[in-house]
Structure 1
Amino acid sequence: MLRSWQFVQTVLGILFRHPVTGTTIIPVLPDGKIVLIRRRDTGQWGLPGGIVNWGEDVPTTVERELEEETGLKLVKICRLVGVYSAPDRDPRVHSISIVVEVEAQGTMQAQDTLEVSEVRAFDLSSLPKGQLSHDHDRQLQDYLDGSITLA
C-alpha cells in the first residue's frame, strides 16, 4: 500500500509540478511570408503550435499542429530557433516551447476553430510586432535576427 501511494505521489508530481512541453512554429511560405494565427481566447496574433502529445515526438507535433491551426502542410523543418522556458512565458501554465522554422505550403484554413479564429500570411514588413501573444514577439525577433536562443 505504501509503495502504491509513493507511486501515485510521483505520478502526480510529474503531471502537476513540471512544465508542459510544446512547440512553436514559424511557418514560411514559398513567397517568404510568415503565417500567423489569431487566437480565439485573446484575439491576439501569434505563431501556431501546441503541446507534445504523449507518445509523440517533436517533429510529429510540429506537423500536426501546423495542419490543425493553419491548414498548411509541412514541407520541411528548416532550423531550430530556440528553446524558451521562462516560467511566465505562457500566462496559462509553465511551459517549455521548442521553436522551429518550417517551410509550409497549401491552403490556409484553421482546422481547430475552437482555438484559432483566423489565419493570415504576413510580409516581413507588415508583421504585427509588439502585439503578439505569449513571448512570440521575442521568438519571432530571435528568428529574424538569425540567432539560436536558450531562454
Structure 2
Amino acid sequence: MAFFTVAIQSTRSLWRFGQTVLGVIFRHPIPGTSIIPILPDGRIVLIRRRDNGLWGLPGGMVDWGEDIPTSVQRELMEETGLELVNIRRLVGVYSSPDRDPRIHSICVVVEAEVKGTMEVHDTLEVMEIQAFSADALPPGKMSHDHSRQLQDYLQGLTRLA
C-alpha cells in the first residue's frame, strides 16, 4: 500500500513539474487555486509548505480537463484531508506575474466550507496543518501572496489583481 501511495505522489509531482515546464516553454500563465477553508467552528485552515517552510493556503494548479470547483475539492483533500462541503464565495483572482516565485500563475481564490479531520496526505508538499481563528493567524510572511489573499477575505473584498 505504501508503495502505491509513493508512486501516486511521485506521478503527481512529475505531472506538476511537467505543467511548469510547459508553462515556461509556451510562456502562458498557469491557472491555479487557493482555498480559504473554514471549519464548522469558524477557524481557518492553513498549511505549512515543505518547499519554503512558510504558512499558506491550500491549493495548487488546475489539472488538464479539470474545472475550478473540482480542482478546489481535489487540492483540499490532497493537502488537508478535509472534504469540501460548499464553495461560499469568490474572494478574488490574482494574476500578478511575481505572485508565485516559481511561475507566472493566475490564482482563483475561494472561501470554502469544509468538514472532516485534518490530515496531511501530500507529504511532499505539506509539513503541517493547523486551524487558526481569524484574530490569531500566524505572524510574519506567508507563502506567495497568501497574506494579501487572506486580508482581502477578512475585509470582505472581492479582488481582481
Scaled by the length of structure 1, what TM-score is found? 0.89
Give the drift of 1:130: 3.5
- Change over 3 Å in CA distance of 1:57–1:122 after alignment to 2: same
Q: Is the 8 A contact 1:129 1:137 kept in 2?
A: no
Q: Does 1:32 align with 2:56?
A: no
Q: Does 1:121 align with 2:158?
A: no
Identify the match of residue 144 of structure 2 among 134, 137, 142: 134
Identify the match of residue 108 of structure 1 among 118, 134, 158: 118
Percent sequence identity over matched residues?
69
Query: Which residue of structure 1 aligns with residue 71 of structure 2?
Result: 61
Give the drift of 1:14: 8.8
Instruction: Tell me how far apart the structure 2 counterparts of residues 13 and 40 of structure 1 sit (CA, whole Å).
Output: 22
Larger Rg: 1
Q: Is the 8 A contact 1:32 1:123 kept in 2?
A: yes
Instruction: Tell me how far apart the structure 2 counterparts of residues 62 and 144 of structure 1 sit (CA, whole Å).
Output: 20
Give the drift of 1:131: 1.9
Q: Is the 8 A contact 1:72 1:108 kept in 2?
A: yes
Q: Secondary structure at the match of 1:96?
A: strand
Instruction: Tell me how far apart the structure 1 counterparts of residues 53 and 39 of structure 2 sit (CA, whole Å).
Output: 23
- Note the aligned Cα RMSD (angstroms): 1.4
Gapped regions of structure 1 (runs ≥ 5):
1-11
Give the drift of 1:15: 5.4
Instruction: Tell me how far apart the structure 1 counterparts of residues 24 and 110 of structure 2 sit (CA, whole Å).
Output: 26
Gapped regions of structure 2 (runs ≥ 5):
1-21
Q: Secondary structure at the match of 2:75?
A: helix
Query: Which residue of structure 2 aligns with residue 6 of structure 1?
Result: none
Query: Which residue of structure 2 aligns with residue 83 of structure 1?
Result: 93
Q: Is the 8 A contact 2:91 2:153 kept in 1?
A: yes
Scaled by the length of structure 2, what TM-score is found? 0.84
Instruction: Tell me how far apart the structure 1 counterparts of residues 120 and 23 of structure 2 sit (CA, whole Å).
Output: 35
Instruction: Tell me how far apart the structure 1 counterparts of residues 131 and 69 of structure 2 sit (CA, whole Å).
Output: 22
Q: How many residues are treated as equivalent by the alignment?
A: 140
Instruction: Tell me how far apart the structure 2 counterparts of residues 51 and 26 of structure 1 sit (CA, whole Å).
Output: 15
Q: Secondary structure at the match of 2:72?
A: helix
Instruction: Tell me how far apart the structure 1 counterparts of residues 134 and 150 of structure 2 sit (CA, whole Å).
Output: 10
Instruction: Tell me how far apart the structure 1 counterparts of residues 23 and 128 of structure 2 sit (CA, whole Å).
Output: 37
Query: Which residue of structure 1 aligns with residue 6 of structure 2?
Result: none
